[in-house]
Amino acid sequence: MTADELIDNFSFIDSWEDRYKYLIELGNQLPHLPDEKKTDEWRVPGCQSQVWIVPHFENTSIWFEGDSDAIIVRGIIAIVLVIFKDKPAQEILDVDVEEIFDKMGLREHITPNRRSGMLSMVDKIKYYAAQSIGN
């Protein structure tokens, strides 16, 4: 799935309750991290729930795994991972995630704490991307 496909999927959902259900469904599809990856090294600070983002560097590409102990947050992680999927590090740095969340109609519906956590996830991913290109 791509970010554009996610935007399209959310555009077909009228009610916020149904969007919430879809968000939970996306989170349920996210593979769980094994316990050995749920360490402070991969924990995302600034999230009210437990959140872990693990980078994987392969040649010139970077990809991520993520998990949380909260079902709604797992859905947000799933969306964030789709947004950054298959992107080179520089493109990751240039992505405006809030614009994408706006297009999905999510930004105004997630709580301020979850929004703050989402931004912390994005910051962590962009940090790893910047490190991979030496910034």
Per the CB < 8 A criterion, the answer to whether 88 and 60 are in contact is yes
Q: Which two tokens stand for residue 67?
A: 């998990």
Question: 3-state DSSP call for residue 97?
Answer: helix
Query: What are the residue numbers of the active site?
Result: 47
Query: What is the C-alpha separation between 47 and 51, in angstroms, rounded?
Result: 7
DSSP annotation of 48 reads S
Q: Which two tokens stand for residue 80?
A: 């964030």
